[in-house]
Amino acid sequence: MAKFLRALEAFFTNYIEGLFNKGKTAGLQPVELAKELVKEMENQRSVGVENIYVPNHYTVFLTPPDYERITPYGQTIADEIAAYLAKQANQRGYVMQGRPKVEFMSDAKLQQGQFRFASRFTVVSPSENLAEKSRDLSETKVYKKLASLEAARKSVPLTGMITVVEGLDAGLKTDVGVDRVNIGRREGNELPLTDMNTSRLHAYIVFEEGAHVIYDARSLNGTYVNGHRITRKKLCNGDRIKVGNSLILYEVN
């Protein structure tokens, strides 16, 4: 994430010099918008039976002066941020219908330096869906995706394990690597629990930027790490995860 943001920031610095310049405006930067839109995506995620869904359409409302400054480069910036959102959704294991769309609009009610978002789930038209599938089935795209996945697997610097140490499923364990690990009562989970105080999909662990990160999947009773309720938490060796009445130990191999 940090690497992508640095590249995105460098692009804006080199080619859009002066846009949202902190010395001339209230300090709004396109990179800030990208970070805030990820938060918006997280806040608006919806947990289904099998997947977690996130909005695929985002509208950014800017002050008229900021909107005027962004207009000449608006589509370029929107495409860059949309690609970033798609990458972040993929890393977190979220489902996004089609490619995300980002658009900018002017809002005269906003004060200098302010901005706001609106996100929604939109239906992808059959023609858009067909075009998306055609792109995904191209030889180059498939090769790149497979090569990228294989490279990620070979370069993983750590592997871990989670073990239920307290609760009805004490002794149950599973490995944690680059693949997503789902935790909860659903039978298909990588760590399927019988604890009735857990949700079907209670929490999940993903591999992000060299570390395992646990996310609460909007569970009813919450997810706790070392006694603190979390929505997202980078795991460290020895961390204790509590879901329902089950206590799970995370260890690095």
Q: Does residue 97 share a domain with residue 28?
A: yes
| % of the chain at pLDDT higher than 90 | 37
Average pLDDT over residues 59-71: 86
Average pLDDT over residues 160-188: 93
Name the band, by pLDDT with cuts 50, 70 and 90, for residue 208: confident
Average pLDDT over residues 86-103: 88
Domain closes at, from 120, 148, 181: 120
Q: Does residue 94 share a domain with residue 10?
A: yes
Instruction: Say if 134 falls within a structural domain.
Output: no
Separation between Cα atoms, residue 123 and residue 130, nearest integer Å: 13
pLDDT at position 67 is 86
Name the band, by pLDDT with cuts 50, 70 and 90, for residue 115: confident
Q: Does residue 110 share a domain with residue 191?
A: no
Please say if the pLDDT value at position 133 is more than 50. Answer: no
pLDDT at position 130 is 45
Name the band, by pLDDT with cuts 50, 70 and 90, for residue 5: low
**Range among 28-37, 94-103, 141-150 rated most confident:** 94-103
Domain housing 67: 1-120
How many distinct structural domains can be found in the chain? 2
Instruction: Say if 245 falls within a structural domain.
Output: yes
Instruction: Say if 183 falls within a structural domain.
Output: yes
pLDDT at position 157 is 65
pLDDT at position 182 is 92
